[in-house]
């Protein structure tokens, strides 16, 4: 089959400072190289002032230095990015150019290749689902970018339908392609002893992740299970006042329970499978997510999971079949789900086995990479 020339527009490609999008882009880019395709990742980085080129497992990585103008930096950055893409196109015609929601806003329509937007959850999506008013300038960029895109895909049906509705794109088709899980890395570890009544949360410490409600649920859990412990993994964030979010949470914890709750902070990604494996129950009561990758990671390790019934939760978990869904804003709902799993050993094992089977079947690297490759091929195929 024809080898494609694929370009990803990304400004957070590892090892530079990055979040989930950078990690997913790296995984996808490397996988496409393994399939025999030519892959380039290019973006503008505020950390540098001149172009840097490197190779990452066969991926051509081009980092452009950010403009140093006092105003209108985005115009200069976009123009230099466009010129660099045209140079790449002359060397080898580009088939596909992919980026997230607002990526095409300031790039010319004549950009080479089929333009694909992958919805990870943009400005409009996050602000609206959290009950806040989107900023006009950021929203305008997303609408302009969508108008230039040839193809849309999204990491969940929830983020696709919500974004399309907010941007008045309801009639446009969207391919649903979740972010993949490395099911060889995230796998059961029978050699790891499960810590009795240990509850594990993984995620950034912020309001939208439901951490406050989980802590409010913990007294009820501890009453039913006096040996219960809560381990919270994830980096701290700051409130608008500049105060640590973690410190506000800790201030509300009653002293008898404080010794049962551990804030471990961010950990090396390589530690996560063993942390999941040690848990009796994993809990992710997010108010809103675009996908919820940590849910799938814990499921891949074979853990019984409590997740939010809001957002994409029902796309990942079949309630009562491979996990439980709760109301993330109701501490009593969270506590009831956790207490049930802590009290029912057979249910925990049943959910864990079926959770692992589901992730391997629907969300593993091989399955998701096949879907991405098919999307790219159909995008460039002649009509």
Query: pLDDT (tens digit, 9 = 90+) per residue, 180-239?
Result: 999 999 999 999 999 999 999 999 999 999 999 999 999 999 999 999 999 999 999 998
pLDDT of 244 above 80: yes
pLDDT of 383 above 60: no
Q: What pLDDT score was predicted for residue 62?
A: 97
Claim to verify: residue 234 and residue 150 sit in the same structural domain:
no
Q: What pLDDT score was predicted for residue 21?
A: 86
pLDDT tens digits for range 328-376: 999 999 999 999 999 999 999 999 999 999 999 999 999 999 999 999 9
Please, which pLDDT band fits residue 19 given cuts at 50, 70 and 90?
confident
Claim to verify: residue 160 and residue 206 sit in the same structural domain:
no
211: CATH: 3.40.50.2000
* Predicted TM-score (pTM) of this structure: 0.89
The whole domain housing 259 covers 198-362
Q: What percent of the chain has pLDDT over 70?
A: 99
Q: What pLDDT score was predicted for residue 1?
A: 77
Helices (H) and strands (E) in the chain, counts: 14, 14
Token readout for 166 is 């907010």
pLDDT of 168 above 70: yes
Claim to verify: residue 164 and residue 259 sit in the same structural domain:
no
Q: What pLDDT score was predicted for residue 324?
A: 98
Claim to verify: residue 357 and residue 373 sit in the same structural domain:
no
Claim to verify: residue 262 and residue 355 sit in the same structural domain:
yes
Claim to verify: residue 148 and residue 229 sit in the same structural domain:
no
Per the domain annotation, does 54 fall within a domain?
Answer: yes
Q: What percent of the chain has pLDDT over 90?
A: 81
Claim to verify: residue 137 and residue 249 sit in the same structural domain:
no
Say what the alpha-carbon torsion angle 319, 202, 348, 299 is, to the nearest 10 degrees.
Answer: 70
Residue 72, number of CB atoms within 10 A of its CB: 9
Q: What pLDDT score was predicted for residue 158?
A: 94
Contacts of 215 (CB under 8 A, 6+ apart): 230, 249, 252, 253, 261
């Amino acid at each position: 089959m024809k080898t494609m020339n694929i370009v990803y527009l990304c400004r957070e490609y590892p090892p530079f400072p990055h979040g989930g999008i950078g990690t997913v882009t790296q995984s996808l880019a490397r996988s496409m190289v393994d399939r025999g395709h030519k892959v380039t990742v290019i973006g503008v980085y505020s950390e540098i002032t001149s172009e840097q080129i490197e190779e990452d497992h066969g991926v051509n990585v081009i980092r452009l230095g950010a403009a140093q103008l006092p105003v209108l930096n985005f115009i200069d950055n976009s123009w230099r990015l466009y010129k660099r893409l045209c140079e790449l196109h002359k060397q080898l015609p580009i088939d596909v150019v992919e980026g997230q929601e607002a990526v095409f806003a300031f790039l010319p329509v004549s950009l080479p290749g089929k333009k694909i937007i992958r919805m990870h959850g943009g400005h409009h999506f996050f602000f609206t689902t959290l009950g806040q008013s989107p900023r006009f300038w950021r929203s305008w960029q997303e609408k302009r970018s969508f108008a230039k895109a040839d193809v849309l895909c999204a990491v969940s049906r929830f983020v696709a339908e919500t974004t399309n509705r907010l941007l008045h794109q309801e009639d446009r088709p969207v391919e649903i392609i979740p972010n993949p899980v490395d099911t060889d890395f995230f796998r059961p570890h029978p050699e790891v002893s499960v810590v009795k009544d240990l509850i594990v949360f993984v995620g950034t410490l912020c309001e939208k992740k439901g951490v406050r409600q989980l802590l409010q649920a913990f007294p009820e859990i501890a009453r039913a299970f006096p040996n219960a412990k809560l381990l919270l993994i994830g980096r701290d964030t700051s409130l608008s006042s500049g105060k640590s979010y973690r410190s506000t949470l800790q201030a509300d914890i009653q002293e008898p329970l404080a010794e049962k709750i551990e804030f471990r902070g961010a950990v090396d990604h390589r530690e996560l499978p063993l942390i999941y494996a040690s848990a009796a129950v994993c809990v992710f009561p997010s108010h809103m997510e675009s996908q919820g990758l940590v849910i799938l990671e814990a499921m891949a390790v074979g853990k019984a999971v409590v997740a939010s019934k809001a957002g994409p939760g029902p796309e990942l978990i079949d309630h009562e079949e491979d996990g439980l869904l709760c109301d993330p804003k109701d501490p009593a709902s969270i506590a009831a789900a956790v207490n049930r799993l802590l009290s029912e050993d057979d249910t925990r094992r049943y959910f864990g086995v079926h959770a692992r089977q589901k992730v391997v079947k629907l969300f593993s690297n091989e399955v998701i990479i096949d879907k991405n490759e098919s999307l790219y091929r159909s995008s460039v195929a002649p009509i």
